[in-house]
Amino acid sequence: MNSVPVSLTRRPNGQSDRRLDDQTDDTPRDECGVMGISTPHGEGVAEMTFFGLFALQHRGQEAAGIAVSDGQRARIHKDEGLVANVFTPDAMAPLTGYHSIGHTRYSTTGSSAHRNIQPFLVETMHGPMAVAHNGNIVNAPALREELLHRGFGLTATSDTEVIALMLAAAGGRTWQERLERTLPAWKGAFSLVLLAADEVIAVRDPWGFRPLSLGRLPQGGYAVASETCALATLGCTEVDEVRPGEIVTLRGAEMHRHQALSAAPNSAHCTFEFVYFSRPDSVWDGHNVHHVRQRLGIELARESGVEADVVIPVPDSSIPAAIGYSTESGIPHNDGLIKNRYIGRTFIEPTQAMRERGVALKFNALTENLAGKRVVMIDDSLVRGTTAGPLVKLVRDAGAAEVHVRITCPPITHACHFGVDMGHDGDLMAAHKTVAEMEEHIGADSLAFLSLEGMMRAVGAADGYCNACFTGDYPIAVTEAQAKLSFEGAIA
């Protein structure tokens, strides 16, 4: 069983897309979104995967890929860019089959180089196998070194390639057996979808760091996705979560579930899924994301209320929290900042004058709603501090009398090693500044963060979540964790 060559398109003159919003965005970035579909009839499987990835575009904008199998052969197309740009009609035409997986990427381990785009498709003695991954394997350096010593040649610098090669080399009669034998070696966060010749397999780490849900397709078959919003887009019913440590096999009209590893005694769901990452219409761990964000705003108003005339969100993830803050405080809610949602990616290098304008590339202020007002500005997080100050100035320049910044989570003081790119500890403003110093740095009249206890009240849980970025209390040891670009030295 042979896989066809990967369909890849280089940018002109080897040029990579420049992320314009990298210059003005101070938000943490998730690694990716994954999607898997298996149908008994094989009609439109790639198209359904495309629409599922389209719903997951917020989880990664660097690159996207889809791999499809017809029971014997696997085909793949992947490239840099947004989902709608990567998958043209010509690119989609060869992607026929019954089973499919997809991926939309922001890099966490490994750079955004072309060679790291997922899924990874390999030919094995057991047939074709493709893997797409959301998360981060903290012991990937040791696993990668072991593969090199065993004579494997690695072509990428991503922990997902390590996963793919370990599975390809594992013993066992089935991919489920190979997974079960290999899973104990992986330490960290992984929500995986795996494509074999005649099935799609989903698996989640024992700690449950990253979300992964599954549902029944209305036309028959099953789908699995990083978020329920993608399943809703496809009209899925009987939606459930892939349990921590569970292997779920999708084979046409059949679905089989097997608890391969015992769930960790203390689960470690990522709280930031509620604060920022997940789409507001998604449901995770039994909670609607939009409702949790409203409760974050309610708790914030209770903890750090201030006399003001208007509450405004920093669009888009802070909108529900601003509504909650307004409801609890009685201060009217209104739009104060308008976001350019179509800034996307561009080859055009901004001029120095435009670069100095910073957030003006991404936000404009509504003077009519801000002039002469005492403003409470709600944001989801403050990471490096590169955006908050310019936003405060933007609101002041629009005539605001006072600007009070309220953040819907605690100060981020530690780096994440489980699939969120926040930078290193030294990059984090709260790691080396007090709240008073941060307030002065961003130029706000006051600055307040939601407490850890308040955040967990909003989530509706006392434990079971990873809050290491706020506390430094990592649920598993991270002594082996690598920097994002640590594998880049040998392969340029």
Q: Which residues are catalytic?
A: 32
Instruction: Give the closest residue to 50 by CA, choosing from 33, 70, 69.
Output: 33
The separation between CA 251 and the C-alpha centre of its own chain, rounded to angstroms, equals 27
Instruction: Give the closest residue to 424 by CA, choosing from 467, 490, 491, 481.
Output: 481
Sheet harboring 188-196: ordered strands across? 120-124, 127-137, 188-196, 199-204, 246-251, 254-259
Cα–Cα–Cα angle for 25, 29, 32, rounded to 5 degrees = 140
What are the residue ranges of helices labelled H in 109-246?
140-149, 159-169, 175-182, 228-233
What is the sign of the dihedral through the CA atoms of 330, 332, 337 and 342? positive
Distances (CA, A) of 18 to 83, 85, 92, 420: 16, 15, 25, 20
In whole angstroms, what is the distance from residue 77 CA to residue 218 CA? 26
Instruction: Give the closest residue to 86 by CA, choosing from 130, 118, 132.
Output: 118
The tally of CA atoms less than 13 A away on the side-chain side of residue 7 is 20
In whole angstroms, what is the distance from residue 356 CA to residue 358 CA? 5
Full DSSP string of 24-49: T--S-EE-EEEEEEE-SS-SSHHHHH
Answer whether 31's CB lies under 8 Å from 58's CB: no
End-to-end CA gap in the chain: 32
